[in-house]
Chains A and B, each alone.
Chain A
Amino acid sequence: MRTPRGEYFLQGNEACVEGAMSSGVRFFAGYPITPSTEIAEGLAQRLKGTNGVFLQMEDEIACISAIIGASWGGTKSMTATSGPGFSLMQEAIGYAAMSETPIVIVNVMRGGPSTGQPTRASQGDVMQTKYGSHGDYQVIAFAPASVQEMFDLTIESFNYAEKYRVPAFLLSDAEVGHMRGLLSVPEQLKIVDRKEKGLKRADEAYDVPDDLVHPFPTFGKGHKAMVTGMTHAEDSRIEPEDVKTHQELVKRLSEKILKNRKDINKWELVSPGSKTMIISYGSAALGPKEVAAKDERVGLLRLKSLWPLPEEPIYEVANQCERILVCEMNLGMMYWPIKRVALEAGCKKVELLSKIGGEPPTPSDVRHKLRGMGAI
């Protein structure tokens, strides 16, 4: 049951639950972990009375395995976790990428490594999201910065997971997950369903060419689907020794995402054309946003999606400004790929404001850094 149109005052994690319900999630498996637990608790409530299933399992590996299995049953499936649980899921994330299984994984990031800071926000898992499983693969990841975006981007996570048959991530953090704020739910919501083998629909997913995203052979429909994490040919035949089969498969898995960056990436621009541009995301972008709103010398590119890397908006911003400040809650992660694109665009001054420990950078942290750079 989707969230009825209206205005709500909710916690970020609760808004994620509503986004999932509105996307049509029908299978959730989770294991308790701060600061994501409210999502499991919320879905335990909300899935009751639908034809959906809520399952608390023995560990996070079981959870992600179960949602992959459920997805092959044809249902929209999701799990939610945080750092330690996310680490446990890595092998299966690669499996989902290789087997092209649409699933949604919410990671409400907390301070790591290890058990770290269970109740404090961090952005330390952004690289793990893209590189945590072995081998070459691409995923889609969104970074919400408000209660509203916990709702909106949960829906986008489902939409893009379905459209591209890929694991999609909602990379939230303890700050956004636990903040309270307004959620406005419109009458019309854009919901995308996977392109099913043997079906024809006038749906967005059906616009993606078949050579990049193959139609999904749901189990139990006589397709004799063969799903495997091993290198396989177009007809699903296992060919683990064949060089060409491996090259074709793994390149296609990457290309279906990278070639569609423009369709996938989302961002917000504040004062484009400013001499100094801050590039940030999630709760780390809240301080910079306040600064950019008040100071005309400073603009902000807030990335709402992190993977695939939004190269186009970064390039454009870097091409027009004199200096860039990347602001994030880790010791410098997105900083490096952003800097690579900025250098290509001719912007040579790219600095990092990094803050760990659990508090997002404040406006005064940002101004202090900008002063040091000679930007204000």
Chain B
Amino acid sequence: MEIFDFYRKDRWPHVFCPGCGNGTVMNCFYRAFSELDLPLERTAFVGGIGCSSRIPLYISSDALHTTHGRAIAFATGLRLSKPDLKVVVFTGDGDLGAIGGNHFINGCRRNVDMTVICINNNIYGMTGGQASITTPHDFLSTTTPFGNKEYPFDLAELAVAAGANYVARWTTRHVHELTKSIKTALQKKGFAFVEVISQCPTNFGRRNKMADPTQMLEWFKESSVRRDKVRTAAVDHFDLNMAGQITIGEFVDRNRECYEELIGVEKHG
């Protein structure tokens, strides 16, 4: 599949800023999807609200652009009512982890078959750079002008604890690993979660001495530590930036029965 068979050319140009990590994720997703040769017309894309959540509207298939934080709940209904559709959710750290946190953990627990891709840029990008639940400690944002006094959520660990079948975290600096994980996620039965640490040069980098997107990519590279090498609860738990590092890799890959199997809706898809 050509890239513009996958993305809607008629919706170009997109709204994303130059250097935004969303483009990298879109590219990796396209690559994973087309390498697997999945049928686009049998795949529905769901987004919440935010820059990252806009991605479904650029894909040449059915798209449900919903309310802030609720994408997983909408996707749950869609998937269970039409189990012959593959469902993919694009969301952001604010959308998924703050306002949508309850749907996120319950989605992992319920284990409905869907692929959830969270573009974690450590900030509320679309609204202009307010602190989010993953803004690193002491970093600057418009609502933490003296440094963020809170500590960030570890979304990947949260997904593991809540029961997702597949969990991985990469950064936009790790495009090959990311593409591979997206492929695994798309093939996984049950709730598959891929977190991508991404750059928002406009609203995060600029305020944290990394206005140039390449500086952010450099930062991702330097701070990333493979999960298998640092497998201690303390590091895993506080993860992002508390220990000054980003734990990357596959966090879990298991095969709990998905909800569709448990309630038997797959049979009449």
Binding site for B on A (CB under 8 A): 26-27, 29, 51, 53, 55, 57-59, 61-63, 65-75, 77, 91-92, 95, 217, 219-220, 222-230, 237-238
Number of interchain pairs (Cβ within 8 Å): 125
- Please tell me if the beta carbons of B74 and A69 are within 8 angstroms of each other in the complex: yes
Q: Name the CB-closest residue of B to A238.
A: B57
> Among B62, B64, B70, B85, which residue has its beta carbon within 8 angstroms of that of A61?
B70
Question: With A29-B77, A62-B73, A73-B78 in contact, is A220–B102 under 8 Å at CB?
Answer: no
> Among B42, B46, B60, which residue has its beta carbon within 8 angstroms of that of A69?
B46
What is the size, in residues, of chain B's interface with A at 8 Å between Cβ atoms? 33
Question: With A70-B77, A74-B81 in contact, is A62–B63 under 8 Å at CB?
Answer: no
Interface of B is mostly: helix
Q: Name the CB-closest residue of A to B102.
A: A58
Report B232-269 CB contacts with A as 1/0, cut-off 8 Å: 00000000000000000000000000000001010010
Question: With A27-B80, A57-B106, A69-B77 in contact, is A95–B268 under 8 Å at CB?
Answer: no
> Among A69, A220, A237, which residue has its beta carbon within 8 angstroms of that of B75?
A69
B65 within 8 Å of A (CB atoms): yes
Interface residues of B in 40-59 (CB under 8 A from A): 41-42, 44, 46, 57
- 9 A-B pairs with C-beta separation under 8 A: A53-B263, A58-B103, A62-B106, A66-B74, A72-B62, A73-B81, A219-B85, A226-B63, A238-B57
- Please tell me if the beta carbons of A53 and B62 are within 8 angstroms of each other in the complex: no
- Please tell me if the beta carbons of B57 and A65 are within 8 angstroms of each other in the complex: no
Binding site for A on B (CB under 8 A): 11, 41-42, 44, 46, 57, 60-67, 70, 73-82, 84-85, 102-103, 106, 263, 265, 268
- Please tell me if the beta carbons of B74 and A65 are within 8 angstroms of each other in the complex: yes
> Among B65, B77, B106, which residue has its beta carbon within 8 angstroms of that of A230?
B65
Residues of B near A237 (CB, < 8 A) are 11
> Among A72, A92, A230, A238, which residue has its beta carbon within 8 angstroms of that of B64?
A72
Residues of B near A238 (CB, < 8 A) are 57, 65
Give Cα A27 to B76, complex, Å. 11
For the complex with contacts A65-B77, A66-B74, 11 further pairs of A-B residues with Cβ separation under 8 Å are A55-B76, A59-B102, A62-B102, A62-B106, A67-B77, A69-B76, A72-B81, A73-B80, A92-B70, A220-B42, A225-B62
